[in-house]
């Protein structure tokens, strides 16, 4: 058994079907744990950077972080509403529950940037930030109306229990198996 055998790998594939990078994440798998399906702090790696660091790829290997998880689905579903979330886990839970929408993820809270969102040009996008990122994402999105028709939802703040700052849409879908919008 290898060190990363129970990790999940999320490929970021761009609109031209090129693999940009691979996010490797470890999650709590004990279904009885209050942290079930939440990532372990510090247990996230970008495989491209890891392989370069370990000498498995040349130092000049090109891996990009300016790619949405699920970006390749945008051209396959050009007329669907897009749901933008923080983590690939949230995008997968959302897509399983609401396949009529195209679910994409930034990869983490800090990757909500103009260059990452450019593939959403002209789309209707519901932005569903994790509870601890609502204000930050609202501020960031407010300056990007030229890219897409963004609607930022405060849903995670409204439905989370008091004091539960790390609440995300996957938490809700696990509990309720539905979305309110």
**pLDDT, averaged in runs of 10, over the chain (181 residues):** 71 87 77 62 71 79 80 96 94 92 91 93 95 89 95 82 75 66 48
Helix 169-176, helix 88-97: angle, nearest 10? 30
Query: 0.75 exceeded by the pTM?
Result: yes
- CA 166 – CA 180 distance, rounded (Å): 19
Number of Cβ atoms within 10 Å of the Cβ of 62: 10
Q: Do residues 151 and 181 lie in contact, with contact meaning Cβ atoms separated by under 8 Å? A: no
Q: Do residues 129 and 137 lie in contact, with contact meaning Cβ atoms separated by under 8 Å? A: yes
Rama region for 171: left / alpha / beta (φ>0; ψ in -120 to 50; rest): alpha
Does CATH number 1.10.150 belong to domain 73-176?
no
- CA 7 – CA 60 distance, rounded (Å): 26
The torsion defined by the Cα of 86, 119, 65 and 45, in degrees rounded to 10, comes to 40
Q: Quote the pLDDT of residue 1.
A: 42
At 54, give phi and psi (nearest 5°).
-85, 0
- In our burial notation (b when 16+ CB lie closer than 10 A, e otherwise), range 71-94 reads bbbbeeeeebbbbbbbbbbbbbbb
Residue 148 CA to its chain's centroid (Å):
18
Q: Quote the pLDDT of residue 154.
A: 85
């Amino acid at each position: 058994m290898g060190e990363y055998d129970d990790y999940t790998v999320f490929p970021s594939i761009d609109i031209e079907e090129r693999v940009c990078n691979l996010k490797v994440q470890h999650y709590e798998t004990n279904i009885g744990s209050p942290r079930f399906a939440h990532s372990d702090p510090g247990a996230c790696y970008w495989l491209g950077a890891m392989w370069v660091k370990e000498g498995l790829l040349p130092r000049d290997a090109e891996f990009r972080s300016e790619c949405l998880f699920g970006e390749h689905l945008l051209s396959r579903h050009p007329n669907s509403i897009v749901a933008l979330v923080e983590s690939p886990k949230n995008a997968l839970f959302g897509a399983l529950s609401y396949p009529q929408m195209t679910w994409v993820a930034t990869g983490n809270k800090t990757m909500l940037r103009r260059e990452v969102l450019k593939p959403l040009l002209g789309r209707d996008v519901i932005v569903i930030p994790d509870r601890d990122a609502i204000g930050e994402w609202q501020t960031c999105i407010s300056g990007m109306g030229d890219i897409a028709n963004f609607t930022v939802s405060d849903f995670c703040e409204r439905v989370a229990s008091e004091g539960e700052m790390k609440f995300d849409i996957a938490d809700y879908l696990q509990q309720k198996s539905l979305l309110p919008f």
